[in-house]
């Protein structure tokens, strides 16, 4: 979102998304942002701002006309141009609006408030019937994020008029026909539909040659031609059962760094392995196998697949590895154990698992087993710290 808004410099040599992460880390180091919960790899998944800092930011934002915050669908005319608009509504207001006729309240928007300078529109816990029917007013909009908690299906009228849109996030009940004009958004970089009820992505999406991040829910059909999106960096999810041709097109997406695949069967796995040499930039790979396919395993990977050199995370579900892959040497377990900051180790399907003193996992915090019938031995001193030991049944 920062990149789409233009808050991160894109003219330098550094990747703007990596630069944005550095900005975030700097705010954390200065205690402007506090980290909350962490995942098993030590990455923050929740962050918050101290109340005093939050109040200060709101005050400074108002003084500098950085953002306009509205508690509800009504807006009064502004003396200054609105650059960034945040529409918020607490739970009590939401309950009231569910029973009120809000058409008259929102009808005043078009005539009283100038939206021609708004670069970001973010709506949270609020109904958008009138707002989304007047999208053509937001002629320079770069960021659009709408969360629809009313659970009523809505039509994004005039979506195609947002020629400058770079970031689109939608949450709520959505149908494919509501996104018919998305192919006109030639500058769009991020499309996030993960928390929608959509079942199929419109075919016009393959026209978005600058799209870098595509996030869709589980069990969603992708159109043929995804391989034309050569700028794509992240794709989540690719359902092989519903979109088999897209799997064959993966070889064209050489910039992919994050990929999540679901319902992958034995045939699809072999196709995927054939495309892997072109995915040298892959850093995170998640594979969810088809539970109905009894042959689903990573056996062909162990003989044919050479893992991408930059791969940092590999998660697989409903699968098994009958033998150690050729690219994973026997002494790699010792090397893993020597990593000083290793926090999480994954599954094993061996019947007997031994961790010796030469495999000293000094920082290991969590170890998961894929089978409950397994004999495990921990040598004295192998794991100095107390770990979370779990079995997946």
Q: Are 158 and 132 in contact (CB under 8 A)?
A: no
Look at residue 37 in the predicted model and tell me its pLDDT: 78
Q: Are 136 and 111 in contact (CB under 8 A)?
A: no
Q: Which of 138, 142, 76 has the alpha carbon at shortest distance from 112?
A: 76
The residue written with tokens 């909009």 in the block is 141
Q: Which helix (H) or strand (E) holds 338?
A: helix 332-338
Q: What is the DSSP string of 361-389?
A: -SS--EEEES-SS-EEEE-TTS--S--EE
Cα torsion angle, 57, 58, 59, 60, sign: positive
The residue written with tokens 């042959």 in the block is 295
Q: Which two tokens stand for residue 156?
A: 């994004």
**Residues contacting residue 29 through CB under 8 Å, at least 6 positions apart:** none
What phi and psi values does residue 48 have, to the nearest 5 degrees?
Answer: -150, 170
Look at residue 99 in the predicted model and tell me its pLDDT: 41
Written as tens digits, the pLDDT of the chain (393 aa) is 989 988 898 877 788 988 998 999 999 999 899 988 776 556 777 899 999 999 999 899 988 989 988 875 556 666 678 899 988 766 555 544 544 445 545 545 555 678 899 999 998 766 566 667 788 889 999 999 988 755 555 667 789 999 999 999 999 888 888 898 999 999 999 999 999 999 999 999 999 999 999 999 999 999 999 999 999 999 999 999 999 999 999 999 999 999 999 998 888 888 898 888 899 999 999 988 876 665 555 655 555 566 788 888 888 775 655 555 555 565 665 666 665 555 555 544 445 556 665 555 666 666 665 555 556 666 777 666 666 666 555
- Sort strands 47-48 and 34-35 into parallel, antiparallel or unpaired: antiparallel
**Residues contacting residue 63 through CB under 8 Å, at least 6 positions apart:** none
The b/e string for 126-135 (b: 16+ C-beta within 10 A; e otherwise) is bbbebbbeeb
Look at residue 198 in the predicted model and tell me its pLDDT: 92
Look at residue 9 in the predicted model and tell me its pLDDT: 85
Q: Which of 295, 354, 292 has the alpha carbon at shortest distance from 320?
A: 295
Look at residue 215 in the predicted model and tell me its pLDDT: 98
Q: What is the DSSP string of 219-258?
A: S-BPPTTGGG-TT--EEEEEETTT-HHHHHTGGG-TT--E
**Residues contacting residue 390 through CB under 8 Å, at least 6 positions apart:** 366, 367, 368, 369
Q: Which two tokens stand for residue 53?
A: 């800092």
Look at residue 350 in the predicted model and tell me its pLDDT: 47
């Amino acid at each position: 979102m920062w990149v789409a808004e233009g808050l991160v410099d894109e003219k330098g040599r550094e990747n703007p998304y990596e630069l944005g992460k550095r900005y975030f880390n700097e705010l954390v180091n200065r205690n402007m942002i506090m980290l909350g919960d962490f995942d098993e790899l030590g990455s923050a998944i929740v962050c918050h701002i101290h109340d005093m800092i939050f109040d200060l930011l709101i005050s400074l934002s108002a003084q500098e006309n950085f953002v306009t915050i509205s508690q509800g669908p009504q807006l009064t005319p502004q003396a200054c141009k609105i650059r960034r608009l945040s529409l918020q509504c607490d739970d009590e207001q939401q309950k009231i609006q569910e029973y009120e006729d809000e058409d008259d309240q929102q009808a005043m928007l078009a005539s009283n408030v100038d939206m021609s300078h708004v670069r970001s529109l973010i709506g949270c816990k609020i109904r958008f019937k009138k707002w989304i029917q007047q999208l053509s007013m937001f002629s320079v909009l770069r960021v659009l994020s709408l969360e629809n908690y009313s659970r009523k299906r809505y039509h994004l009228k005039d979506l195609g008029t947002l020629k400058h849109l770079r970031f689109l996030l939608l949450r709520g009940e959505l149908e494919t026909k509501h996104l018919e004009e998305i192919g006109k958004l030639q500058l769009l970089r991020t499309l996030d539909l993960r928390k929608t009820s959509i079942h199929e992505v419109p075919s016009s999406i393959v026209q978005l040659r600058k799209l870098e991040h595509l996030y869709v829910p589980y069990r969603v059909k992708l159109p043929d031609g995804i391989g034309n999106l050569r700028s794509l960096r992240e794709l989540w999810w690719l359902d092989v059962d519903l979109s088999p041709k897209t799997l064959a097109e993966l070889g064209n997406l050489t910039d992919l760094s994050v990929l999540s695949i679901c319902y992958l069967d034995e045939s699809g796995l072999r196709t995927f392995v054939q495309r892997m040499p072109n995915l040298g930039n892959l850093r995170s790979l998640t594979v969810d196998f088809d539970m109905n396919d009894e042959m689903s395993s990573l056996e062909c990977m162990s003989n044919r697949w050479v893992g991408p050199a930059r791969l940092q995370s590999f998660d697989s579900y409903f699968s098994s590895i009958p033998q150690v892959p050729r690219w994973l040497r026997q002494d790699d377990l010792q090397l893993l154990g020597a990593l000083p900051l290793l926090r999480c180790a994954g599954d094993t399907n061996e019947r007997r698992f031994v961790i010796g003193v030469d495999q000293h996992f000094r920082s290991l915090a969590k170890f998961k087993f894929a089978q409950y019938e397994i004999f495990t031995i921990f040598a004295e001193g192998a794991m100095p710290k107390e770990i979370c030991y779990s079995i997946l049944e």
